[in-house]
């Protein structure tokens, strides 16, 4: 009887672990750290609640997301709307001079596509010039 009880507890713990993993990837696809290996851009999102502190801008308090690395400056999420497997994200740069709308679409559990809407304002430094990054990227959940 004791072995049966231990076995049932093990199964319950295993089921709970699988459910928690499913919540992160399946039920909450727009929460996590995403990375584009082509451009070196990191995207941090939690579209379900504002929990992220932007490095260097902690005074703004918790936000729903930001993007940095491989681009010029830090871009903060200012507005978002989720519709099915696509999220429309609006980012503004850290000095507030530019903004960009992006469609962030889930392709699979760990693959997402980034598509700039209406042209791309996000730039990166190349030598002494600022050049626009590609308007289409593939991100993987880290």
Does residue 14 register a pLDDT over 60?
no
Q: How far apart are CA 88 and CA 130, in angstroms?
A: 25
How far apart CA 55 and CA 75 sit, in angstroms, is: 11
**Can you read off the two tokens belonging to residue 25?**
């990837």
- Whether residue 4 has pLDDT greater than 70: no
Contact 50, 60 (CB under 8 A): no
Rounded to whole angstroms, the Cα distance separating 24 from 122 reads 29
Band of pLDDT at residue 10, cut at 50, 70 and 90: very low
Task: List the end-to-end C-alpha distance of the chain, in Å, as a whole number.
Answer: 43
Residues 6+ apart with CB under 8 A from 87: 30, 45, 47, 80, 81, 103, 104, 105
pLDDT at 26: 67
**Structure token digits, residue 59:** 């005074």
Cβ atoms of 46 and 65 within 8 Å: the answer is yes
Task: Render pLDDT for 78-132 as a digit per residue (tens, 0 to 9).
Answer: 999 999 999 999 999 999 899 999 999 999 999 999 999 998 899 999 999 999 9
pTM above 0.95, yes or no: no
Q: Hey, how many other C-beta atoms are within 10 angstroms of the C-beta on 41?
A: 22
Q: How many CB atoms sit inside 10 A of residue 38's CB?
A: 12
pLDDT at position 6:
41
Pair type for strands 75-83 and 65-68: antiparallel
Domain boundaries defined on the chain: 29-141
């Amino acid at each position: 009887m004791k072995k049966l009880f231990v076995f049932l507890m093990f199964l319950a713990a295993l089921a709970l672990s699988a459910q928690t993993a499913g919540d992160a990837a399946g039920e909450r696809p727009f929460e996590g750290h995403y990375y584009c290996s082509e451009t070196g851009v990191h995207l941090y999102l939690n579209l379900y609640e504002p929990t992220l502190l932007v490095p260097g801008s902690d005074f703004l308090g918790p936000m729903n997301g930001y993007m940095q690395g491989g681009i010029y400056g830090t871009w903060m999420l200012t507005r978002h709307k989720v519709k099915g497997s696509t999220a429309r994200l609006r980012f503004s740069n850290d000095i507030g001079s530019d903004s960009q709308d992006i469609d962030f679409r889930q392709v699979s559990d760990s693959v997402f596509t980034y598509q700039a809407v209406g042209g791309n304002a996000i730039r990166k430094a190349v030598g002494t010039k600022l050049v626009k990054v590609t308007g289409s990227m593939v991100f993987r959940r880290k």
